[in-house]
C-alpha cells in the first residue's frame, strides 16, 4: 500500500532530479520552503520584523550566517507556516549556534492557523528534544501518518540551552507537496448536478423503445 502512494506523491512533489543527482539527493529533499505561503508566514516574538521568514531557504544555503532570527522578550519563538497546498511532512532540521542560544525543544502543531503562545500551551502533535546543530545536519523525523495532510504547520520553540534569547539560522522541512484539490471538487459538483438529467434520458429512451 505504501509503495504506490509514495511513487504517486513523488511524481507531484517538489523534488528536482538534476539537483538530487548533483548533491546525492540531500538538498533536493528539503524543498518544502518553496511551498510556503510567505505572504502569510508569521514568526511571533522575533526581534527584527520579517527575520523569521529568512530561516526557510535552500538546504545548500543554510550556512549563510547573515540570515537568522533571534527572539525578543524571552527565549520563545513560534512560527505559523501556511503552505500553498497539502504537505506530507517527513522531517525537520533546526540549525543554531553551538552555544546556549540554540533551541532545546521543538513542538509541532498541524492545521491550527494563527496560533498564539497561549494556543501553544496545548498538547502538540509531536515534540522533540533538540541537540545543538551548528551545521544543519541533524534530521528529526516526524510521525508521517500524523503529518500526511498538512496545510498549516506551527513550530513552537519553548526553551533553549539557558541563554536569554534564542537564535535560529535555518529550519529545513522535508516532505512531499500536492496541489490543493479545489479544482477537482468543482468538477465533481458539476458532474453531480448533471447526472439527474443523464438518468432521465436513459429512463425515457428504453420505455419509448419498449412501447414501439
Q: Hey, which residues does 85 pair with through a beta bridge?
A: 179
Residue in 114, 174, 178, 128 with CA at minimum distance from that of residue 149: 178
CATH number (domain holding residue 74): 2.60.120.470
pLDDT at 212 over 60: no
pLDDT in tens, 31-77: 999 999 999 999 999 999 999 999 999 999 999 999 999 999 999 99
Inter-residue contact 80 to 144 (CB < 8 Å): no
- Number of domains observed in the structure of the chain: 1
Distance CA 113, CA 175 (A): 20
Residue 153 corresponds to which cell in the numbers above?
504547520
| Rounded Cα distance, 153 and 125, in Å | 10
Domain assignment present for 197: no
- Mean pLDDT of the residues in the chain: 83
What is the distance of C-alpha 15 from the center of its chain? Answer: 14
**Would residue 102 count as lying in a domain?**
yes
Residue 25 pLDDT exceeds 90: no
The domain in which residue 104 lies consists of 26-178
Distance CA 22, CA 28 (A): 9
**Average pLDDT of the residues in 128-157:** 97
User: Is residue 30 domain-resident?
Assistant: yes
Amino acid at each position: 500500500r505504501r509503495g504506490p502512494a509514495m511513487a504517486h506523491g513523488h511524481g507531484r512533489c517538489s523534488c528536482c532530479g538534476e539537483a538530487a543527482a548533483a548533491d546525492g539527493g540531500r538538498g533536493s529533499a528539503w524543498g518544502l520552503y518553496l511551498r510556503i505561503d510567505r505572504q502569510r508566514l508569521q514568526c511571533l516574538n522575533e526581534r527584527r520584523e520579517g527575520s523569521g521568514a529568512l530561516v526557510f531557504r535552500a538546504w545548500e544555503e543554510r550556512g549563510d550566517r547573515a540570515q537568522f532570527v533571534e527572539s525578543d522578550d524571552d527565549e520563545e519563538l513560534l512560527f505559523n507556516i501556511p503552505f500553498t497546498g497539502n504537505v506530507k511532512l517527513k522531517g525537520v532540521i533546526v540549525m543554531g549556534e553551538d552555544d546556549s542560544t540554540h533551541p532545546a525543544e521543538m513542538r509541532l502543531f498541524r492545521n491550527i492557523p494563527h496560533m498564539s503562545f497561549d494556543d501553544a500551551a496545548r498538547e502538540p502533535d509531536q515534540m522533540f528534544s533538540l541537540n545543538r546543530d551548528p551545521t544543519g545536519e541533524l534530521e528529526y523525523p516526524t510521525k508521517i501518518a500524523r503529518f500526511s495532510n498538512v496545510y498549516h504547520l506551527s513550530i513552537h520553540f519553548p526553551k533553549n540551552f539557558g541563554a536569554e534569547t534564542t537564535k535560529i539560522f535555518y529550519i529545513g522541512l522535508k516532505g512531499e507537496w500536492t496541489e490543493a484539490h479545489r479544482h477537482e471538487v468543482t468538477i465533481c459538483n458539476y458532474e453531480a448536478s448533471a447526472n439527474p438529467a443523464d438518468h432521465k434520458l436513459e429512463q425515457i429512451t428504453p420505455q419509448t423503445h419498449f412501447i414501439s
